[in-house]
Structure 1
Amino acid sequence: MMEGLTNHLRLPEREPDNESQARLDYHAVEAISSDGRAPSLPSFEFSTTGLPRAEQFAIWHNSFAPMLELSDIEPMTANFKGRQRLWDLGSLVLAEISTDRLAFSSLPGHVRRDPVDHWTMTVLLSGQIRTGTARTAFTAGPGEVQVHSLGRSFDGVVDKSEMLVLFVPRDLSLETSATLGSAEFSTLGTGMGRLFSDYLVDVANRLPMLAQADLPGLAAATRAMILACVQPSADHIEAAEGPIANVLLEKARQLVHSRLLDPKLGSELVRRELGISRTRLYNLFEPFGGVMHYIQHRRLLSAYAALTDPNDRRLIFQIAEERGFSDGAEFGRAFKRAFGYSPSEVRNRGGGGIPVRPDLEHCPSQERLGVLLRRLQG
């Protein structure tokens, strides 16, 4: 079924002239490794860029014709820009879509030769979508998730937007079917809904690194996340513990990176931003020696970069203070524990890039594993 849906989203076969065909940027992208490793997942791309305005919307319309009727709201504009990239995930399909403003509506079943009746879970990256049905109307903005049912009647407007769309078949599982059926035509405005949004963005970012063998595990994790985030329960959340933890940890890392020099950055700020308990925060960062150890390690890495930057000639204590170290001696000890050199030695010898641990070569062989593992810490 998913293979069929991927084919539906491709352009219909026709006989364009050679010039138009050359401008049609639609191709399958598949990375084949020359060293014998499994190939990465193929993706299928197409864009309206380079086509005459008269053809741009028509081709965009045709690409969605099996499931939606699209209307050009602003036909007098110089261009209509649309781009999509599709991944066939076996039991799921993920689409990355960028589109100019347009209207959309579902198709009556009798006009479709091969009806598409799946759920779509749409994560807005930018822009806004407004949807109406006979019973309700709802809106989604960046970071929010909308659930549509392609087999039901609806219409709406999408502004100039970027989005991820997950196509979920009705026969994925009985439990998933019941869960999405209860949430269709709604915006998941809860914290768990936002967690699913982060999960789907993370999946899209990682797809270029996955292979076909990874798809069963990805499908299982996604199913667990749908159940946990759309219809939370203790059992659903427990089943999705691994994917949820990964999403939370990634959010925490991004938060630490963005506020690394903020003197208020600490475990309580991270906990509040993630919306989790102190116990949950402790469990997330236990492998890193705790959240404060993780923050300190990232600040030390930042200090190392500053000390090896030939354009940064500030005094060492100024660099240390900027990263929350009020005691120069404490900073020096922590820095040498992390990198094997004092801050002044690093400044004097110059260098750059990733900190090097030359002591690994000279330490006793039985201690090397411990050195390596500590280097990975944080």
Structure 2
Amino acid sequence: MSTPIRFDSTDFPENDAEEIWREGLNAVFEIQRPKDPPVPFRAKMESWPLGSVLLMSHVVGGDVEFQRTRRRIATSGIDHYLVHCLLDGALVSTFGRDTQQVSLGSVIVRDLVVENIGFTRDAPMVTLTIPRHAIDARTGGALRMHGLSWEATDPIGLLIASHMRSLVSVASSMDEEQALVAGEATLDFVAACVLRRAERWAQSGDPRLTPVIRAQALSFIEGNLADMSLGPARLREILKVSRTALYELFEPMGGVAEYVRARRLDEAMRRLESPLHARELIGAIACAVGFMSESTFNRAFKERFGCTPTEARRRRAAGVSTGGGATAAANAASRQGEARGVGIRTAATIRSLGS
């Protein structure tokens, strides 16, 4: 049988329960709950790995803000979509200048590389966590999926919501092979649905080649962040594509230069929050991620994250880093014992999807 990861706040003292719950979602969100007046914490969470998909049933009482911040995007180490089905309560999502009021029974998609804030109130929901490459492999990629939604009155939306609820009802009774089949079938189904609804970024040439070229481009960028010559000309040389094709490939990401700059800054944040780089000078980190000038790096870093590199390092040293690294997880596991490691196991499962 497929063994779910279960959490119920009533099984633990209140302070411990909230800490364990936060650990489970720390891979994805920064979480804010009301402090004045304090609200008693209550939550339930149950998740089932289905191959490269994670199915989760989740509810937390009261008002909660789930923040996917630029800092969290940089340090979480995940590149997934969330597909939510709202069962009750209230859910409002904001991203950029847009606000989306989610109706009961509807299905919505969230892209975890997009900054957004979700506000919930007593909102049980079912969620599919899906690695980006798992959808891209089935759709050809280059889809605008963040904010995509189906109302409960939409026949396709009703089918998706019914499928997600059905998965929850049978997931615990499936063996590993059945769970894998269910996960692959769910991926095929979701991909077919988004293909009919999502807009595709404009592109020329054979669209089947786009995911391959994109993967090559992103892999090259990740391995060459320190290369000062990394830019459009270098990528065109490596990929053997035209200027127009390269522009279209990176247009959804704001362009080649913007994407490279963002990845360099994200890698810098990761190093600043890593104990392995605690003794490394900030100037050395700036150079290691491809910045020629420390002052230019400092300005760009503050623009992206709202704090200076020095302030980011001080936060980590003070114990308020939000990266949720393996060392912190190991310390928490030791402190709380194996029975209380449910949050850590949930976070580890989210991070390992599709790997």
* Higher Rg of the two aligned structures: 1
The TM-score, its normalising length taken from structure 2, stands at 0.50
Q: Which has the higher contact order (CA 8 A, sep 6+)?
A: 2
